[in-house]
Amino acid sequence: MQRVFRYKQVIVVRADLDLSKGKLAVQVAHASELAIDATKRLDEQWFYDWFNEGYRKIVLKVQSLEELLRLKEEAEREKLPVATVIDFGLTELPPDTVTAIGIGPAPSERIDTVTGRLSLLH
C-alpha cells in the first residue's frame, strides 16, 4: 500500500558551492532545524501533523545564490515557513555564505507550488 504524505519539509541547497559531503550534510541539518522552528512559530499544528505521519524530508538543488533567494521570497509570499542557512565560515566557505534554505514542514501541495520544478540533489 502506497503511503500518502500530506506534509513535508523541503531543503534547497546551492549546487554551485561544491561542498564536501560532510559540509553539505551539516548545512541540510541546519536548514531542517531552523525551518522546524519557523514552522512552530507560524503554525504549530503543521509541525505535529508532519511529525506524526513520518516527518518526510526532500532535498533539492539550485544553481546559484540568486535562484535560492528568489525561491525564499516566493515561499515567503506564499506564507510558508522558511529559514535561511548562513555559514559562519569556519571551515570551507567564506563567512556569511548563504548555503541553503528550509521550507516547512507544511502542506505538501503548498510547498510544491514553490519547489515543484526543482531537481533532487544526487
Judge contact between 36 and 105, C-beta under 8 A.
yes
What nine digits make up the cell of 67?
535562484
Q: Where are the domains of the chain?
A: 7-120
* Cβ 11 vs Cβ 102: under 8 Å: yes
For the domain 7-120, what is the CATH superfamily, name and number?
Answer: Bit1 (3.40.1490.10)
Model's pTM, two decimal places?
Answer: 0.96
Grid cell at residue 4: 500518502
Residue 27 to residue 25: CA distance in whole angstroms: 6
Confidence of residue 96 (pLDDT cuts 50, 70, 90): very high
pLDDT higher than threshold 90 for residue 1? no
Q: How far lies 76's CA from each of 32, 50, 118, in Å?
A: 17, 20, 17
